[in-house]
Amino acid sequence: MQFIDIANAEELQITTEAPAEGGGVAASLGINGTLFVFQLINFAIVASIIWFLILKPLTKKMTERQKMIDDSIENSKKIQDTLQRSEQKYQEKIDQAKVEYNKIVEKATGDAEAAVATMKIKSKEEIELLVDQAKRNINIEKTEMMASLKAETSNLIVMALEKILSEKIDAKKDKGMIEEMIRKL
Amino acid sequence: MSQLVLPPLGAETIFHIGHLPVTNTIVNTWVAMVIFLIFGLLLRKRIGLKPGKLQNWCEYFLDLLLGYFDQVTGERKKTLQFLPIVGSVFFFILLSNWLGLLPGTGSILVGHEPLLRPANTDLNLTIAMALVAVVASHVFGFVTVGVFTHLNKFVQFGSLVKSFKKGPIGIFTAIIEFAVGLIEIVSEAAKVVSLSLRLFGNIFAGEVLMTVMLSLVAAIVPTPFMLMELLVGVIQAGVFAMLTIVYMTVASAEPHGAEH
């Protein structure tokens, strides 16, 4: 930009510099082989600086960050899935445990009832056995007592007979005594 | 009598390095280079997965730009493939254009010539960039669709030979396609010319406009024009970059009827 004092603008004159001598249109536009190569190299250097120092590190970090975010989201989804599966498994185990618990309780109840019934039967049998034994014992004792009574009675009779025989008795007395004895029996 | 000296079409030589002439546009390019270098080193030092303020802003603008490029390429992967060229072109043109608006450009003189001049007012640079863009598009074409498939877009000998089996209509179509292919070669040259002249024309016109405006009224009045030049800088950078990415996308696409 040219800062030019144009306080007295009426005398202003616009000029441009003369184009390069003897170069035709290209030269008049400032196109020059050497300068073109020079600018090409300059642009290559600038482009390298921009790419390697600015754009490449930036895009690399952006890509890394994007990858990290994607990975995190994926991991989060995986964790959520795992958690859901774990919860499902936990629930399945709980349900299974409940089923097993019920089975065990049912089995235990059944076993207990069976044991009670068995014990009842056994107790009944034992009681019946004891009652039979007691009856048998009573019968034996009764028989023994009867035998003992008979023996005692026989002895008594014998003794009574001996006494009678030892005394002098008449027919009347004898008859009376025998009747009494028989009555006592 | 005051003289309003408009900038010439060609860049002015400031000094020589050996036999190499160094123009004021080259100086401007070097300034841009140094700015990018310092910025790049600063950014590289602070870059991390957890971005700071600088990185955050850079990523914001880059993401915005990548979004526009994605609309052309259709996918982020392709955009990132083209980014080394397209991104560099965009940011370099943008900075060069804006550097031309800084005080000192055109007013600091070395001898009788201004030390600084917007880099894109030099056709040598714009042609160099356009050439890089078009050549890079063909390189991507060769790599993506294969050398022969890509060349067949321009010189359709294969289709011409095959057409002899298809009868007169097939031969006629093949001849037309062959001619269209040759026109395509001309259009490739036209791409370089249009890209370079568009950028040069717009920025040079802006430079002339600013020179005239600043010459007429030194303060306040040129401000809207400077704001407009800021906008022109972005638009021209965007146009150049978008056209480059369009050329690259088209070149790396399978030709029509390739599946038959």
What is the per-residue pLDDT for B257?
A: 59
pLDDT score of B94? 95
Q: From CA B66, how far away is CA B88, in angstroms rounded?
A: 13
In the numeric block, which tokens belong to residue B241? 């970059």
Which residues does residue A16 pair with via DSSP β-bridges, in sequence order?
Answer: B6
Closest partner residue to B210 (CB to CB) among A1, A13, A46 is: A1
> What pLDDT is stored for residue A18 in this prediction?
46
Q: Which residues of A touch B99 (CB under 8 A)?
A: none
Q: Domain residues for B55?
A: 16-154+186-251
Q: Has residue A91 got a pLDDT over 50? A: yes
Please tell me which residue of chain B has the smallest CA distance to A46: B33
CB contact under 8 A, B87 and A8: no
Structure tokens at B246: 């369009």
> Which tens digit of pLDDT belongs to each residue from B71-91?
999 999 999 999 999 999 999
- Contact assignment for B8 to A30 by CB distance below 8 Å: yes
Tell me which residue in A12, A35, A58 faces B23 most closely, judged by beta carbons: A35
Segments making up each domain of chain A, as ranges: 32-184
Q: For residue B86, what is the nearest residue in chain A, using CA coordinates?
A: A47
Q: A21 or B5: which carries more pLDDT confidence?
A: B5
pLDDT score of A182: 78
Task: Please state the rounded mean pLDDT for residues B22-36.
Answer: 93
Could you say which of B21, B216, B218 has the minimum Cβ distance to residue A34? Answer: B21
Asked if the model's pLDDT at residue A72 lies above 60, the reply is: yes
| A:B CB pairs within 8 Å | 198
Q: Which residues of B touch A4 (CB under 8 A)?
A: 2-5, 214-215
Distance from C-alpha of A63 to C-alpha of A146, rounded to nearest angstrom: 120
Residue B175 lies in a domain: no
How high is the pLDDT of residue A168? 60
Token pair, residue A163, equals 């006494």
Which chain B residues touch A44 with a CB distance below 8 Å?
A: 132
Q: Using alpha carbons, select from B122, B88, B112 the residue that is nearest to residue B204.
A: B122
For the ranges A50-59, B203-212, B248-257, the one whose mean pLDDT is highest = A50-59
pLDDT interval class at B92 (50, 70, 90): very high
Examine residue B211 and state whether it is found in any structural domain, yes or no: yes
What average pLDDT does range B151-173 have in this prediction? 81
How far apart are the C-alpha atoms of B113 and B12, rounded to whole Å? Answer: 7
A1 has a pLDDT exceeding 60: no
Sign of the CA dihedral B55, B100, A23, B18? negative
- Taking contacts as CB-CB distances below 8 angstroms, the residues of chain A near B8 are 16-19, 30
The answer on pLDDT for B160 being more than 90 is no
- The whole-number pLDDT of residue A135 equals 94
- Provide, rounded to the nearest whole percent, the portion of chain B with pLDDT above 70: 97
What total number of domains does chain B contain? Answer: 1
Determine if the pTM surpasses 0.95.
no
Q: What percent of chain A shows pLDDT beyond 70?
A: 84
Q: Is residue B172 part of a domain?
A: no
What does the pLDDT look like over A129-139, one tens digit per residue? 999 999 999 99
Higher pLDDT, B6 or A101: A101
Mean pLDDT of chain B: 88
The minimal CB distance from B36 to the residues A2, A12, A54 is found for A54
In angstroms, what separates the C-alpha of A70 from chain B's closest C-alpha? 14
CB pair distance less than 8 Å for B127 and A58: no
